[in-house]
């Protein structure tokens, strides 16, 4: 088990996170009643706030939290919330953190518009604060996230994925935002480009490690109240690192059988068969090894910063993301 | 009939529009094949390009077209395209300009992501060009457009609309973008705030006049190959200016009957009954009068500019939007 989980790490900057929550709530006010109703609904679903946590910790080790750190944290959380709202439309999700999803309660129409609204709000914040450096980073991130999802969609449809494309997808759809959080946090408190680059790379490596672990948990996790059921990705024909490795390192006829089963339609896909195949062909161990490598790289990226409790927290976070069991 | 239509007016700046089309095409390139496929699909559907036309004409009368004018035109066209793609999800539309809509061909998932991608691309262009003044205007516009649509959605659901709310909705959902086009066009070629304000107001008034005419055409228009069928808004229970006026200026029991019919469910809504009611109670004439007032205001806004063929074109455009029959 990792030394500390997200809650333990959040404790360390409890006051900063409280102030963030206050400012975040204020930033969501609208004169349209339906918008206010939905934002109150979103605020009730307290997420782990990993992205603001990253922004604030990155600021802490780069020189200290500033007003710009809070603006950056609000920007990334608004963007993240917008993408969650759109993702639920994208995935036809019925629930989000055990609440009915916005598209389930108010239909796709409202969910699409609400996502656009939240994104615009975040960008307006950055414009109003003249945080043009944040805008440069974040607009590129929005582009990468949608490109990554679209690439995954087309690969899923064709049932065709290789390790190189897999890394491109997870870098764009997941690591880009975590990297942006760390970069923005650093930019909020220093002009030192070497520190900014180090934090950007830390975030990228952390994100890749996080996503590989997420993909592993589809094979070995336990379904929990809040989590996805085991094999959810498999059912959606998402071919991720464990299976990519297993398919490449198994006998040709076995691999053929697996591909045939995946092509047989959602209801006929035999999740247990595919999980067993992946385990037996070393897919899990391989993916765990790679995730650990990225986690180590992330920890390496922190080496230019002086020792502090915040640096330790970021180190522990890199360990946590690859050792977590849900 | 108006003196000139959109095509006639576009002729005047044919070379500038050609250059815009070239640059717009270039700006849509992506390394993800699915994205390129969809953008090629979008580019095949040649729209009227009203928004780039407005940007370029606004630049022409404010001092001349600059490189920034083209960047502004690309920004607004990307944003407009993004909202069309999202609107089709929002409206569950099957076709767009007689082509199957993106959500119909590639499903909602791809349409939502593609809209996000196009929006991000537009904003990145503005960031890369350091057009921060454009960003300030455009992010506020994205927010207003989504708020306007959400306000309309909640009013439609409750079957409750009044003239004040109607104007708020059409100002936010339609006029805001046309106003932004004119403002951006002016900003691209002058620092004179009085000219910028005049163009912004011209665009706002033009947009309101345009939308009122659009709403009138739901009652008196003829269904065409490219247009919506007569009474499409009525079927969706969108209560617009002609009906708002008629409901307020008819006998109470008649109005009650109409509201009852609107509440009876989409299949039972009697479009002809409601159109007749609206006509008989002066709703069309009233809406036409108001649209003409906004058109005149728009023409008034141009008075500070010296006479030129571009100024005449913008005057004719203001006449066209309220006299068009489709």
Q: Would you say residue B228 has pLDDT above 70?
A: no
A251 in Cβ contact with A226 (< 8 Å):
no
Confidence of residue B171 (pLDDT cuts 50, 70, 90): very high
- Maximum Cα interatomic distance, chain B, rounded to a whole number of Å: 62
Give CA–CA dist B236/A259, Å, rounded: 45
- Strands A99-100 and B95-96, sheet pairing: unpaired
Residue with structure tokens 């598209």?
A: A103
B212 pLDDT more than 70 = yes
| B25-76 residue pLDDT tens | 998 888 888 888 888 888 877 778 999 999 999 999 999 999 999 999 999 9
**Shortest Cα distance from B25 to chain A (angstroms)?**
17
Does residue A136 sit at the B interface (CB-CB below 8 Å)? Answer: yes
CB contact under 8 A, B113 and A150: yes
pLDDT in the model for residue B227: 58
Q: Is B140 on the interface with A (CB under 8 A)?
A: yes
Residues of A in contact with B116 (CB under 8 A): 83, 86, 115, 119, 142, 145-146
Interface of B with A in 108-127 (CB under 8 A): 108-110, 112-117, 119-121, 123-124, 127
The model's pLDDT over A67-83, given as tens digits with 9 standing for 90+, comes to 999 999 999 999 999 98
How does pLDDT run across B237-294, given as a tens digit for each residue? 899 999 999 999 999 999 999 999 998 877 889 999 999 999 999 999 999 999 999 9
Averaged pLDDT in 10-residue chunks for chain A of 326 residues? 87 96 90 86 81 98 96 94 81 68 72 89 91 94 92 82 93 96 98 98 98 95 64 90 96 94 87 95 98 98 97 97 91
Residue with tokens 């004439």: B285
**Distance in Å, alpha carbon of A133 to nearest chain B alpha carbon:** 9
Question: For chain B, how big is the Rg over CA atoms in Å?
Answer: 20
In what helix (H) or strand (E) does residue B35 lie, and over which residues does it extend? helix B33-44
Share of chain B above pLDDT 90, in %: 68
Residue with tokens 């065409």: B224
- What span, in angstroms and rounded, lies between the C-alpha atoms of A92 and A96? 11
Q: How far apart are alpha carbons A275 and A258 in whole angstroms?
A: 10
Residue B226 has pLDDT above 70, yes or no: no
Query: Nearest CB to A113: which of B114, B117, B146?
Result: B146
Per-residue pLDDT, B210: 97
> Helices in B281-325 by DSSP H: which ranges?
283-301, 309-323
Distance CA B138, CA B120 (A): 12
Whether the CB of B143 is below 8 Å from some CB of chain A: the reply is: yes
**Helix (H, G, I), strand (E, B), or coil: what is residue A249?**
coil
Pick the residue from chain B with its C-alpha nearest to A172: B32
pLDDT at residue number B225 = 47
Question: Between these two residues, B225 and A168, which has the higher pLDDT value?
Answer: A168
The CB density around residue B251, as the number of other CB atoms within 10 Å, is: 9
pLDDT value of position A225: 47
Question: Do the chains contact at B124 and A114, CB–CB below 8 Å?
Answer: no
Which stretches does DSSP call E strand in chain A? 95-96, 99-100
Task: Report the C-alpha gap between B102 and B86 in whole angstroms.
Answer: 9
Q: Cα dist. A32→A38, A120, B147, B154 in Å? A: 10, 15, 7, 9
* pLDDT recorded at residue B229: 76
Residue B223 has pLDDT above 60, yes or no: no
Give the C-alpha separation, A75 to A86, whole Å.
17
State chain B's mean pLDDT as an integer.
Answer: 90
* Bridge partners for B96 per DSSP: B99
What pLDDT, on a 0 to 100 scale, did the predictor assign at position A111? Answer: 85
Q: What are the structural domains of chain A?
A: 10-137 (1.10.600.10)
Of all residues in chain A, what percent are helix, strand and coil, respectively (each to 5)? 75, 0, 20
pLDDT above 70 for B224 = no
Half-sphere exposure (Cβ direction) of B244: Cα atoms closer than 13 Å: 21
* pTM (whole model) above 0.95: no
Contact A108 B113 (CB under 8 A): no
- The CB density around residue A166, as the number of other CB atoms within 10 Å, is 22
pLDDT at A228: 67
Q: How far apart are CA A237 and CA A269, in angstroms?
A: 9
User: How far does Cα B275 stand from its chain's mean position?
Assistant: 24
């Amino acid at each position: 088990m990792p030394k500390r989980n997200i809650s333990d790490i959040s404790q360390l900057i409890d006051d900063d996170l409280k102030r963030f929550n206050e400012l975040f709530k204020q930033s969501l006010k609208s004169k349209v009643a339906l918008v206010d109703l939905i934002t109150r609904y979103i605020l009730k679903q307290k997420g782990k706030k990993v992205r603001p946590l990253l922004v604030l910790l990155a600021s802490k080790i780069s020189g200290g939290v500033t007003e710009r750190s809070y603006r950056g944290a609000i920007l990334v959380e608004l963007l993240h919330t917008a993408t969650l709202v759109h993702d639920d439309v994208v995935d036809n999700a019925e629930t989000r953190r055990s609440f009915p999803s916005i598209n389930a309660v108010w239909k796709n129409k409202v969910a699409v518009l609400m996502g656009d609204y939240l994104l615009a709000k975040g960008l307006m914040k950055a414009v109003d604060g003249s945080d043009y450096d944040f805008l440069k980073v974040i607009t590129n991130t929005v582009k990468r996230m949608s490109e990554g999802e679209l690439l995954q969609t087309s690969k899923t449809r064709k049932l065709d994925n290789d390790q190189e494309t897999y890394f491109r997808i997870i870098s764009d759809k997941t690591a880009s935002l975590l990297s942006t959080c760390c970069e923005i946090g650093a930019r909020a408190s220093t002009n030192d480009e070497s520190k900014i680059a180090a934090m950007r790379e830390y975030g990228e490596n952390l994100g890749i490690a996080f996503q590989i672990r997420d993909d592993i948990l589809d094979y070995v996790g336990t379904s929990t109240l809040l989590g996805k059921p085991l094999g959810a990705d498999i059912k959606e024909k998402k071919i991720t690192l464990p299976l990519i490795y297993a398919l490449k390192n198994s006998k040709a006829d076995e691999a053929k059988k697996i591909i045939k089963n995946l092509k047989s339609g959602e209801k006929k896909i035999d999740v247990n068969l595919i999980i067993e195949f992946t385990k037996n062909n070393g897919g899990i161990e391989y993916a765990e090894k790679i995730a650990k490598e990225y986690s180590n790289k992330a920890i390496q990226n922190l080496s230019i910063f002086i020792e502090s409790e915040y640096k330790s927290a970021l180190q522990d976070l890199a360990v946590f993301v690859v050792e977590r069991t849900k």
